[in-house]
């Protein structure tokens, strides 16, 4: 039997495959640095630090500021600054209003002149309810600029902040009634998400504009702003889950809510003066566990203003997924799962770099058969979220149950933070490496990832593969049995 055709076809296929592989080039690679301590609690402190947010100075990208909640044993907040792109952190003191004893739910942003704005809610009374909503300005040198300004009054929950130039926007849930017993919950709706605007850098604000519909059980709002005046508010919609919304479970252990929940967003084209109806980003979001209302898993949103793109990331009950909108939130792509393996992924944070690269960090327990030990993973995409490269940020897995209020559910906060820059990204998260299930110590830590761009087509592979394919094709044509038989016949 003549084996030349088979060998030739094999060479043709191998050469074509080699050339195609060379044309694909090499994707970007991620190189994480060791983790860094962000919160600077004394060694014997038993604070539960969670839910970090981060802001980058637009004039000095090496300056990052992060803020986080202290969920236990006493409600508070923390601020830290890095002047080394996240490679080291130091504490930043926050002046409090004369009538405030603490701060909670901090939100931060830099304006176009490098001034830092810090939004927070002092709490008080027997149930630690918000007594006001305050805004503290800092100079570009991170020195407090006057006393904190009053933005709104009491029962202002889950505030968020967005700055575009001199325009400052603030959103929050304005509760009309609070159910405060063993655990805090909202009273029956309406408890609307509202937005206020400032055109003078946050010194004065407009009257609140109602964003959410009266009967909607919307929590964990996120606020985004574009240079052209567009504004987006995204949120988690609990649909008809009044048990979670009103904390009817009293914070006790038990099965997850029946669900499902959904992710929604409202858009404004006039700078936040008016908002359209809610658009659904995703339906059928399965709750992974029972949660307290301030610890409900916040969907993460980010805007790529230069390319007119929006990104949203959330947990589905098992995985973390990402969707993209190219029309201002009117429609969204089919969600893509980010992790290399299914299960145990939750609480994403998201950032977009100036070149359009999107980075998503999330907790991942998929490596532990018992679904307890967690790593933090970063997934990075340079093609609009179509394909991702991943890397692990944590130095070692940690016990995700440390910090749990009821001993049965994971309570590492409602989100983590990601700051994406040119060639690097920094993630900040709640980490329990210093704690255990007795002391419940939870710290904020960070890791910075160097993103090395991939190479283009690998010319030697393309050339070699192409030559091998051509030779295989020639030999195939010359040695094909039908051609040989044809040469033996005469007309």
Task: From first to last of the 491 residues of the chain, give the pLDDT tens digit.
Answer: 445 555 555 554 555 555 454 444 445 799 999 999 999 887 668 899 999 999 999 999 999 999 999 999 999 999 999 999 999 999 999 999 999 999 999 999 999 899 999 999 999 988 889 999 999 999 999 999 999 999 999 999 999 999 998 899 999 999 998 877 767 899 999 999 999 999 998 999 999 999 999 999 999 999 999 988 999 999 999 999 999 999 998 888 899 998 899 999 999 999 999 999 999 999 999 998 989 888 899 999 999 988 989 999 999 988 999 999 999 999 999 999 997 666 789 999 999 999 999 999 999 999 999 999 999 999 999 999 999 999 999 999 999 999 887 777 888 999 999 999 999 999 999 999 999 999 999 999 999 999 987 644 445 555 665 565 556 555 555 664 544 344 333 33
Q: How many angstroms separate the CA atoms of 90 and 213, rounded?
A: 42
Give the pLDDT score at 49.
96
The verdict on whether omega for the bond into residue 73 sits within 30 degrees of 0, i.e. cis, is: yes
pTM: 0.86
Angle (nearest 5°) at CA 166 between 161 and 170:
20
- Determine phi and psi for 187, rounding to 5 degrees: -75, 180
Name every residue whose Cβ is closer than 8 Å to that of residue 103 and which is 6 or more positions away in sequence: 76, 77, 94, 96, 120, 121, 122, 134
| Measured CA distances, 57 to 81, 87, 110, 199, 309 (Å) | 11, 16, 6, 20, 22
Give the pLDDT score at 41.
82
Q: Tokens representing 426?
A: 């920094």
């Amino acid at each position: 039997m003549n084996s030349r055709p088979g060998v030739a076809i094999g060479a043709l296929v191998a050469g074509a495959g080699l050339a195609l592989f060379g044309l694909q080039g090499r994707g970007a690679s991620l190189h994480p640095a060791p983790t860094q301590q962000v919160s600077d609690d004394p060694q014997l402190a038993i604070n539960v630090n969670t839910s970090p947010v981060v802001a980058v100075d637009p004039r000095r990208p090496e300056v990052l500021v992060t803020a986080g909640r202290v969920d236990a044993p006493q409600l508070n907040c923390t601020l830290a600054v890095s002047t080394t792109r996240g490679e080291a952190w130091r504490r930043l003191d926050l002046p409090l209003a004369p009538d405030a004893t603490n701060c909670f739910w901090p939100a931060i942003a830099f304006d176009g002149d490098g001034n830092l704005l810090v939004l927070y809610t002092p709490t008080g009374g027997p149930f630690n309810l918000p007594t006001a909503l305050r805004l503290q300005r800092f100079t570009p040198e991170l020195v407090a600029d006057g006393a904190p300004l009053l933005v709104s009054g009491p029962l202002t929950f889950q505030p968020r902040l967005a700055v575009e130039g001199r325009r400052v926007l603030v959103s929050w849930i304005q509760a009309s009634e609070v159910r405060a017993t063993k655990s805090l919950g909202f009273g029956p709706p309406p408890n609307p998400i509202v937005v206020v605007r400032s055109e003078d850098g946050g010194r004065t604000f407009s009257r609140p504009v109602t964003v959410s519909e009266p009967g909607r059980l919307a929590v964990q709002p996120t606020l985004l702003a574009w240079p052209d005046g567009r504004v987006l508010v995204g949120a988690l919609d609990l649909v008809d889950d009044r048990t979670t919304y009103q904390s009817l479970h009293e914070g006790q252990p038990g099965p997850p809510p029946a669900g499902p929940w959904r992710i929604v967003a409202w858009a404004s084209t006039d700078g936040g003066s008016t908002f359209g109806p809610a658009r659904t980003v995703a339906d059928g979001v399965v709750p992974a566990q029972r949660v307290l209302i301030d610890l409900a898993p916040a969907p993460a949103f980010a805007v790529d203003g230069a390319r007119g793109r929006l990104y949203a990331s959330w947990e589905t009950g098992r995985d973390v997924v990402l969707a993209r909108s190219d029309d201002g939130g009117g429609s969204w792509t089919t969600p893509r799962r980010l992790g290399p393996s299914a299960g145990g992924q939750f609480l994403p944070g998201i950032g977009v770099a100036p070149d359009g690269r999107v980075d998503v960090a999330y907790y991942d327990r998929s490596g532990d058969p018992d679904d307890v030990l967690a790593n933090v993973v970063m997934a990075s995409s340079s093609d609009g979220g179509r394909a991702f490269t991943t890397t692990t940020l944590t130095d070692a897995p940690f016990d995700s149950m440390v910090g749990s209020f009821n001993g049965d559910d994971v309570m590492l906060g409602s989100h983590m933070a990601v700051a994406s820059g040119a060639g690097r990204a920094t993630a900040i998260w709640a980490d329990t490496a210093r704690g255990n299930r007795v002391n419940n110590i939870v710290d904020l830590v960070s890791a910075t990832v160097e993103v090395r761009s991939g190479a283009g087509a690998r010319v030697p592979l393309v050339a070699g593969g192409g030559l091998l394919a051509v030779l295989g094709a020639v030999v195939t044509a010359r040695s094909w049995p039908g051609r040989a038989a044809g040469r033996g016949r005469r007309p």
